[in-house]
A and B are shown apart, each in its own frame.
Chain A
Amino acid sequence: MNHIILKTENLTYSYGDGHQALKGISVEIKEGERVCVVGSNGAGKSTFFLNVNGVLKHDGGDIYFKGQKVGNSKKELNELRRGVGIVFQDADNQIIASTVMGEVSFGPMNLKLPKEEVIARVDEALEYMNLSDFKERAPHYCSGGEKKRISIADIIAMHSEVMIFDEPTAALDPLNAAMLEDVLTRLSAQGKTLLISTHDMDFAYRWAERLVVFCNGEIIADGTPVDILADDAIREKANLRKPMMLDVYEAMTRHGFSSMAEDHPKDPDAFNHWLGQLNQMQASN
């Protein structure tokens, strides 16, 4: 599980108008990692994603996928696109077919798989996203949450090893956001490598094992969520909000409620557990 699946070295990219969106990005993503990519709007997150997927062609630097350097030939780019799937932020911009089944089949069909395999993958992906009853529906008339699920099924059907989610929780209601988190957890349990950009620090804090902070086209920090989000200088620079659980935890330790118990509870359940341990310890003292 420890070898590097995706690596960029000094990756640079400029848009046609001369604006340099990526100024030397070097990052190594290990297989099976849960990475959250954070940073303010326009920090270069989406551009980075499109580059490591091969849709945008980088100006400088190198991309390595599974140890192989990815060149500019169509074959190599398609190999990269097969291995790295993107779920775009706006499902409306991703959905192109007029039935859900056709939509999910688009990727596998482009991989020129035999028809039986395509059907099997589509069924599997629809089942995974709980969309089996939607097969014949027209995706453009589905609700926002359903569209998001369809756009995720699109990528699941491609069996990409690395899955990128560009701000998946934006524009989702709480129920759908919870569904999404559940899907992400399941995918991660299956060994998929997940890269997720988000502005939701509470989510990044409890879900990610690693945080990569983008700021003005550069990576300014890379490490565990606790390390990064507890660091005021980084948070200030990248305009990140401190997660509520971390805030509460720090306030409590400041007031002397620190414990030898498990550190940094990341969600209310863990916090509850942590408080329980704290109580026990005080009682035994």
Chain B
Amino acid sequence: MVIHWLWVLPFVLLLIGGLIYKAYRHRGEHHHHHGFGHKHGEATIAVDTYAYHSGIAHWNPAFKVVLSIVLLLFCVISDSVEVSLIIICFTTFVTVVLGDLSFHHYFEMLTIPLVFLIVGSVIILINFSWTPMTNVILCLPVFNFFVIITHDSLYVTVHLWARAFGALSAMYMMSLSTMSNEIFSVLRKAHVPALLIELMNMIYRNIFIMADTQNRMRNAAESRLGYVDYRTSLKSFGSTISNLFIVSLKRSGHLFDAMEARCYDGELLFLETEKPLNAKLILMALGVVAYCVLVWVMTRGV
């Protein structure tokens, strides 16, 4: 059993080494952002800026998209905790160390889906029974019933958790390093229907318009003490939301006018910088995938 975890070790060491190196490189710098959750009052959602400032923004976007999707699929198909852990370590390494995203921000981003993950897995982990059971990990009497964790449910939960988390970090590697327009253009090259891409693009853009509108209105309400106590907050929030749709609709109407004025006819096309493929990166990616396959083969059936 223990021997199987040794397969994961190189990647754990890679991640730890990378984090130490990163901490060393950034020593002496001050952290400006304390506390948890995103800051209010900022004009836009940060996700887009992370991709823009990423240290691996210059990698070929198709390469990043394909690598993430391959890792994601492999993570889901293999259903192996070892493989998932390797993928988690590797993608975190790529995002946080190579991409130079602060670990704090990365973790903050992860907390949103993590909450869902934990809530979802707890329900699978725990069983209830009227009678006590033997040969289980935990059998906790509560009032007149028992909360039980069996070996099976623990196994399922750990596997589910590893799969979901692995897939998640693979997707994060892509979305935190590749700008939306690059992802859309990769999809276009992969011959995804133009209508779908256009819809994605429009929805994405309108999310930002709405977030930005909401932010402005919130700031405006806050400056007039609209969030002074809980009751007022609720009231302000309510009227902000009902205005949000009208204002956002108006703004997206303006945006569409501006697009039409520049001869938009149903396809959003932009000039992009060529980001050439790098042989070293391909080798690295192949190496990681091959290693995952090897680990999967060596650890199955145990």
Q: Does B268 contact A (CB under 8 A)?
A: yes
Q: How far is the CA of A107 from the CA of B264 in the complex (A)?
A: 8
Q: Is B222 an interface residue (CB 8 A)?
A: no
Q: Is the C-beta of B181 less than 8 angstroms from some C-beta in chain A? A: yes
A102-B262 in contact (CB<8A): no
Instruction: State how many angstroms separate the Cβ of A105 from the closest Cβ of chain B.
Output: 3
Cβ of A171 within 8 Å of any chain B Cβ, yes or no, is no
Taking the nearest CB of chain B, how far is it from the CB of A160, in angstroms? 10
Which A residues lie within 8 Å of B255 (CB)?
Answer: 93-94, 96
Complex contact B262–A107 (CB within 8 A): yes
- The answer to whether B257 touches A55, judged by C-beta atoms less than 8 angstroms apart, is yes
Residues of A within 8 A of B258 (CB): 86, 88, 93-94, 96
CB–CB B181/A102 < 8 A: yes
Q: How far is the CA of A247 from the CA of B290 in the complex (A)?
A: 81
Answer whether residue B272 sits at the interface, using C-beta atoms and an 8 A cutoff.
Answer: yes
Chain A neighbourhood of B262, CB < 8 A: 81, 85, 106-107, 110, 154-155, 158
**Most chain A beta carbons < 10 A, residue from B181, B265, B269:** B269
B11 at interface, CB cutoff 8 A: no
| A29: min CB distance to chain B, Å | 17
Q: In the complex, what residue of chain A is closest to B256 when comparing beta carbons?
A: A55
Q: In the bound complex, what is the Cα–Cα distance between A107 and B271 (angstroms)?
A: 10
Residues of A within 8 A of B261 (CB): 50, 53-55, 81, 85-86, 88
Q: B52 contacts A88, CB within 8 Å?
A: no
Given contacts A93-B251, A98-B179, A98-B180, contact A106 B269 (CB under 8 A): yes
Instruction: Give complex CA distance A109, B262 in Å.
Output: 10
Q: Is B233 an interface residue (CB 8 A)?
A: no
Cα distance A109–B251 when bound, in Å?
24
Taken together as a complex, chains A and B put the C-alpha atoms of A50 and B260 apart, in Å, by 10
Question: Is B44 part of the binding interface, using a Cβ–Cβ cutoff of 8 Å?
Answer: yes
Across the interface, name the chain B residue whose C-beta is closest to A93: B254
Nearest-neighbor residue (CB-CB) of A81 within chain B = B263
CA distance in complex: A90, B260 (Å): 16
* In the complex, B273 has a CB within 8 A of chain A: yes
Interfacial chain A residues near B180, Cβ < 8 Å: 98
A119 within 8 A of B: yes
In the complex, what residues of B have CB within 8 A of residue A93's CB? 251, 254-255, 257-258
Q: How many Å from the CB of A155 to the closest CB on chain B?
A: 8
Q: Is B48 an interface residue (CB 8 A)?
A: yes
B257 contact from A50, A106, A110, A141, Cβ within 8 A = A50
**B264: nearest chain-A partner, CB-CB:** A110
Measured CB to CB, the nearest residue on chain A to B253 is: A93
Take A102-B181, A109-B271 as given contacts and tell me if A140 and B264 are in contact as well, using a CB distance cutoff of 8 Å: no
A93 to B205 CA separation, bound complex (whole angstroms): 11
A47 to chain B, nearest CB (A): 11
Interface size of A by Cβ–Cβ distance < 8 Å? 42
Q: Which of B179, B251, B268, B272 contacts A96 (CB 8 A)?
A: B268
Across-interface contacts of B272 in A (CB, < 8 A):
99, 101-102
What residues of A have a CB within 8 angstroms of the CB of B264 in the complex? Answer: 106, 110
- Is A106 within 8 A of B273, CB to CB? no
- Bound CA–CA A23/B107 (angstroms): 59
- Render B50-65 as a binary contact track against A, CB cut-off 8 A, 1 for contact: 0010000000000000
Q: B181 and A55: CB pair below 8 A? A: no
Considering the complex, give the chain A residue whose CB is closest to the CB of B252.
A93
By a CB distance below 8 angstroms, the chain A residues around B24 are none
Closest-CB distance, B274 to chain A (whole angstroms)? 11
Contacts of A107 in B (CB 8 A): 262-263
Contacts A96-B259, A110-B265 given; does A105 touch B271 at CB 8 Å:
yes
The answer on a CB contact under 8 Å between A78 and B273 is: no
Minimum distance in angstroms from B132 CB to a CB of chain A: 59
B271 pairs with A122, CB closer than 8 A: yes
Bitwise, B87-98 to A at CB < 8 A (1) or not (0) is: 000000000000
Kindly identify, within residues 70 to 112 of chain B, every residue whose CB is under 8 Å from any CB belonging to chain A: none
Chain A residues near B257 (CB, 8 Å)?
Answer: 50, 55-56, 88, 93
> Which residues from chain B contact A96 at a C-beta distance below 8 Å?
205, 255, 258-259, 268
Chain B's closest residue to A104 (CB) is B271
A118 beta carbon closer than 8 Å to chain B: yes
- The answer to whether the Cβ of B49 comes within 8 Å of any Cβ in the partner chain is yes
A98 to B205 alpha-carbon distance, docked (Å): 10
CB-defined A-B contacts under 8 Å, sample of 28: A50-B261, A53-B261, A55-B260, A74-B265, A82-B263, A85-B262, A86-B258, A93-B251, A93-B254, A93-B258, A96-B268, A98-B48, A99-B273, A104-B271, A105-B269, A106-B264, A106-B268, A108-B271, A110-B264, A110-B269, A122-B271, A136-B273, A138-B49, A138-B52, A140-B48, A141-B44, A141-B49, A158-B263
A interface, CB within 8 angstroms of B: 50, 53-56, 74, 78, 81-82, 85-86, 88, 90, 93-94, 96-99, 101-111, 115, 118-119, 122, 135-136, 138, 140-141, 154-155, 158
Q: Which residues of B contact A (CB under 8 A)?
A: 44, 48-49, 52, 179-181, 205, 251, 254-255, 257-265, 268-273
